[in-house]
Chains A and B, each alone.
Chain A
């Protein structure tokens, strides 16, 4: 990988095995110099691509901070006067707080619903299904990812919400003593639990696809080691496949969480918004997410309103960063046992 190495097979194709060394001896510098040129170019290309990510990330962060700055520094009473949708919040922070809460709650719900199902599908495709069925099923799951979020929003609002409403009513009646299901169940079911369900469907493909790939990477050797010890198929999966795939599963879940945190259209079209710190999943007008709020307010926003909206966007950016760093930390905690050494 270092530029000083010059692999012997990099010589031009064609001459018989003995020719390249002879040729190199004849003209010492030439082959090596050309090699070094190419590998240098490639090194710059790779470094540049890596740096580009950092530049883009920094550019986004700078944009968010600069544009949000007026709203962050504006005295609260003026801000409330200028921005109609603050709903009389006493400060920008006390307005962003419930939005962050709603965003994280919706995304966590989606993750909670989607991850077990996605892992089940991925395991079925990688280790249980007959080969032909597995290929078809993998394709269908990938297809789910291709559906635009507007369509999910329409479907969630027009089809899923009326469909699940009786279930939500039943939940409210029988399990109402659990805080999550307490309160008056919305007759339209345009509530956070419905949103969580739709978001779960939306992040299902990415979690499934990534974890399926990771499951398929499990070395055959380790699977056979488990089987030869007398493991059933499930025990083999538990001893060899799942521990090996652990970091991959976490990465997959984080990718899904990232999408759920930022999802806009589907939430906007389904949820009846509210700005409370509320755990009531079945009651309308309780929560709202950052992204959906930005989309809802952006069209008729004054410059100061836009700045306030961007401030909420900055909060979303920070949350996402924090979530990813936490995931990295979880993955790295048991690095010695990852099998990478």
Chain B
């Protein structure tokens, strides 16, 4: 299921403003890749180009190629809706649909993709998805209750269950733990480690310990100044980035000298 992503010469714009310049990287399948860097350096913006969510904002557009398994996501005949069905996303703040029950939330994506699903298949899928998100035992007795009644950490795991219920190739996570307490954060991090055996995972994080804990490879983004586009400084194995990075800027950032 997991697939490789190749990014080449990617420039990302908000209207006329160039937000991220000249990104090129390869993201390996069945691994966790973390993006770190100071606020405003474009790591979230870049993440959102990997499932074409960037262009949802009026005026936003990109140049360059993002190829998932060799197919350019920005090709002329590629439907962004189809892309998003292959590349799932988990957001910074938990966002289960408040008008839906826990069960309906898990099935929301499936109902969009394939409206005919038998009752028993649906029940199985709900259980499998919630189990893979480590949430099943906590919610199995209240699947019909609203998803918004759960705690923040549970809501975020519900969002992960919702994202993996459609069986995407890639899972993008935009600071998934920044709104959560340490215990919920740990639960999500354990979950990420489990999920990487099946998915290609890309995670944006402000927490460098988290990047060090969960990721196999780490990419460091930086920007020269306000109004300048963000750039990819380097990407390497996480161990290398945190022990002996090639660039001085990376070392400064990691050792807390700026950012």
Contact = CB atoms under 8 A, between A and B. Distances in A.
A158 B57 CA distance: 48
A121 interface: no
Contacts, number: 81
A231 B81 contact: yes
Contacts of A338: 98-99
A1 to B, nearest CB: 23
Interface in A197-225: 219, 221-222, 224-225
A226 interface: yes
A88 B92 CA distance: 72
A176 interface: no
Contacts of B146: 336-337, 341
A275 interface: no
Contacts of B88: 228-229
B53 A228 contact: yes
Given A229-B109, A240-B97, A339 B148 contact: yes
A287 to B, nearest CB: 39
B224 interface: no
B109 A230 contact: yes
A239 B108 contact: yes
A246 interface: yes
Contacts of B58: 131
B78 interface: no
A227 B84 contact: yes
Nearest to B172: A228
Nearest to B86: A230
B113 A230 contact: yes
B162 interface: yes
Interface residues of A, number: 25
Contact of A246 (B91, B95, B99, B148): B99
A181 interface: no
A336 B148 CA distance: 9
A152 interface: no
Contact of A229 (B84, B100, B149): B84
Given A239-B108, A336-B149, A337-B146, A232 B97 contact: no
A230 B56 contact: no
A339 B95 contact: no
Contact of A337 (B89, B95, B100): B100
B82 A230 contact: yes
Interface string A229-248: 11110010001100110100
A339 B99 contact: yes
A243 B99 contact: yes
Contacts of B149: 336, 341
A219 B95 contact: yes
A74 B163 CA distance: 70
B166 interface: yes
A227 B112 contact: no
Interface of B: 51, 53, 56, 58, 81-82, 84-85, 88-89, 91, 93, 95-101, 108-109, 112-113, 145-146, 148-149, 159, 162-163, 166
The 7 A-B residue pairs with the shortest CB-CB distance in the complex, in nearest-first order: A339-B98, A230-B85, A243-B99, A229-B109, A228-B89, A221-B95, A230-B84
Given A221-B93, A224-B53, A229-B109, 17 more contacts: A131-B58, A221-B91, A222-B95, A222-B97, A225-B95, A226-B97, A227-B53, A227-B84, A228-B84, A228-B91, A229-B163, A231-B112, A243-B97, A246-B99, A337-B101, A338-B98, A341-B148
Interface of A: 131, 219, 221-222, 224-232, 235, 239-240, 243-244, 246, 334, 336-339, 341
16 contacts: A221-B91, A221-B95, A225-B91, A228-B53, A229-B88, A229-B112, A229-B163, A235-B112, A240-B97, A246-B99, A334-B99, A336-B146, A337-B99, A337-B100, A338-B99, A341-B98
